[in-house]
């Protein structure tokens, strides 16, 4: 019976000889390690098995659930601020209390660029999975602090200080979450379905906001108004902290993207590499400016707008917000999938044109609306327009940058822009209202969308010019 020659025998019969970890050939000593590193990227190891649709879906689901929890925790603040404003600030004018909570909401956004920077660096160095797990931990900590902090009457000025600290932690978390999750979903998706799969970032983002509103509705139905003001508002923050633990467990099972595992080792600092792409950085800023302002206007701020300006009850405004957000969420994969067919640029241009033309008419009409259904249809019309931005903005940004700086390139300029325009939307709107010039805010939103439209009209379609190379 013939037996195959041992593997050492094969080496010994090579033209060269193996000695002490080195290959001798033609009297030239070549280190095996050096030989490995000289091979093309990915050739030193066995090629990774091609990802199936099932494996892609599993990883996208795990990542998306975590994203949903993150944004639930982020939006719970906005959804319940009407109730906890009195707990953290001294008694006085309710508008002043809302302004204070809105200011702290904006402060949270100030941390988002730092989160985008730190988590982007971490994601591009250590992996998308590691960064996504870290962001969940930070969000959990922030929610716990808000849930457990005593009110102003108990600990005085320490109450709003702790609220600010908690919001800073959450801002750091969300700042890192966006860029990393946008990168992860875009890299994990197949080339022909990249728009569809990446749209689930906003599906889960909106679902997080929707769940926050659903929790609010349930608590409004089960607790008295006095109970909500006294302690009921703490319940959703406890829920958020517990869900973050579950999300952390799920993210442990995520696969790392092939783009990251196959990338070459960085030859210089990531920030230096990033600065070599000024056009891409400015494109992210430009395409984000109008979209993020419109998004926060019609989602976060709208609940307060319906109460303070239109004169609706808190319960009615919450129900309208929940109904419109649900339909808005369902639109995201539809338009994301459409971008895989016709490209990203036409959809962005459609948002820019419609947003520029109809923002003032929609908000002006909404100002005077008297019926529940009238408010619903107007807000829904606005959100259909905004879907042209939200459904594909993640994949567009990810497709702009090379693998080694993708999470940083997406996260940092996006977070800066959101902090300046999206995070301040509510505060700017309330400022215009307090100054007796509420319509000025409508024109401000319009001007920002028009600026973004200029970027959409002049940029290349990233579907045809994508920097994501993994199929």
**pLDDT tens column, 309-321:** 888 888 888 889 8
- Residue-level pLDDT at 104: 78
Please, is 135 exposed, middle or buried when counting C-beta atoms within 10 Å of its C-beta (0-12, 13-18, 19+)?
Answer: buried
**Close Cβ partners of 121 (under 8 Å, ≥ 6 residues apart):** 270, 271, 408
Residue 31 has pLDDT above 70, yes or no: no
Q: Where are the CATH 1.20.1250.20 domain residues in the chain?
A: 55-256
% of the chain with per-residue pLDDT over 70: 85
Count the Cβ atoms, other than its own, within 10 Å of residue 7: 8
pLDDT digits (tens, 9 = 90+) for 205-254: 889 888 988 898 899 889 998 898 888 999 999 999 999 888 888 888 78
Query: Would you mind telling me the total number of residues written for the chain in this entry?
Result: 471
Fold entry, domain 280-402+433-471: Growth Hormone; Chain: A; (1.20.1250)
Residue 181 has pLDDT above 60, yes or no: yes
Residue 152 has pLDDT above 70, yes or no: yes
Q: Which neighbouring-strand residues pair with 29?
A: 24
The answer regarding whether domain 55-256 maps to CATH 1.10.10.60 reads no
Confidence of residue 28 (pLDDT cuts 50, 70, 90): very low
Structure tokens at 159: 């109450």
C-alpha–C-alpha distance, residues 260 and 184, integer Å: 9
Q: Name the more confident of 268 and 218.
A: 218
């Amino acid at each position: 019976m013939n037996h195959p020659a041992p593997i050492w025998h094969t080496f010994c019969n090579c033209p060269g000889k193996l000695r002490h970890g080195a290959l001798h050939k033609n009297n030239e000593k070549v280190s095996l390690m050096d030989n490995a590193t000289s091979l093309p990227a990915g050739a030193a190891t066995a090629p990774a098995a091609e990802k199936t649709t099932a494996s892609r879906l599993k990883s996208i689901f795990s990542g998306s659930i975590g994203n949903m929890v993150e944004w639930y925790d982020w939006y719970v603040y906005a959804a319940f601020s009407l109730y906890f404003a009195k707990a953290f600030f001294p008694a006085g004018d309710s508008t002043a209390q809302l302004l204070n909570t809105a200011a702290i909401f904006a402060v949270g956004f100030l941390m988002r660029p730092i989160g985008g920077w730190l988590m982007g660096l971490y994601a591009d160095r250590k992996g998308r999975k590691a960064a996504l797990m870290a962001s969940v931990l930070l969000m959990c900590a922030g929610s716990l602090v808000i849930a457990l902090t005593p009110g102003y009457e108990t600990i005085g000025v320490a109450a709003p200080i702790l609220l600010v600290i908690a919001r800073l932690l959450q801002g750091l978390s969300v700042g890192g979450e966006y860029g990393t999750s946008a990168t992860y979903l875009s890299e994990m998706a197949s080339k022909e379905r990249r728009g569809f799969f990446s749209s689930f970032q906003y599906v889960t983002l909106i679902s997080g906001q929707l769940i926050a509103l659903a929790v609010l509705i349930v608590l409004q139905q089960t607790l008295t108004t006095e109970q909500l003001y006294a302690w009921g508002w703490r319940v959703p923050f406890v829920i958020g902290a517990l869900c973050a633990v579950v999300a952390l467990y799920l993210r442990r099972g995520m696969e790392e993207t092939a783009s990251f595992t196959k990338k070459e080792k960085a030859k210089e600092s990531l920030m230096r590499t990033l600065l070599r792409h000024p056009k891409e950085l400015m494109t992210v800023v430009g395409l984000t400016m109008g979209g993020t302002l419109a998004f926060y206007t019609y989602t976060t701020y709208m609940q307060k707008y319906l109460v303070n300006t239109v004169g609706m009850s808190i319960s009615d405004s919450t129900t309208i917000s929940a109904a419109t957000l649900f339909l808005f969420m369902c639109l995201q994969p539809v338009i994301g999938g459409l971008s895989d067919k016709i490209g990203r640029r036409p959809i962005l241009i459609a948002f820019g044109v419609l947003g520029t033309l109809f923002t003032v008419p929609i908000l002006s009409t909404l100002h005077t609306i008297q019926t529940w259904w009238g408010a619903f249809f107007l807000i829904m019309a606005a959100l259909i327009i905004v879907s042209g931005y939200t459904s594909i903005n993640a994949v567009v940004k990810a497709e702009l940058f090379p693998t080694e700086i993708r999470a940083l390139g997406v996260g940092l300029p996006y977070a800066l822009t959101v902090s300046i325009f999206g995070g301040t939307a509510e505060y700017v709107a309330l400022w215009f209202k307090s100054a007796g010039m509420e319509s000025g805010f409508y024109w401000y939103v319009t001007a920002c969308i028009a600026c973004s439209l200029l970027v959409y009209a002049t940029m290349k379609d990233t579907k045809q010019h994508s920097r994501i190379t993994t199929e």
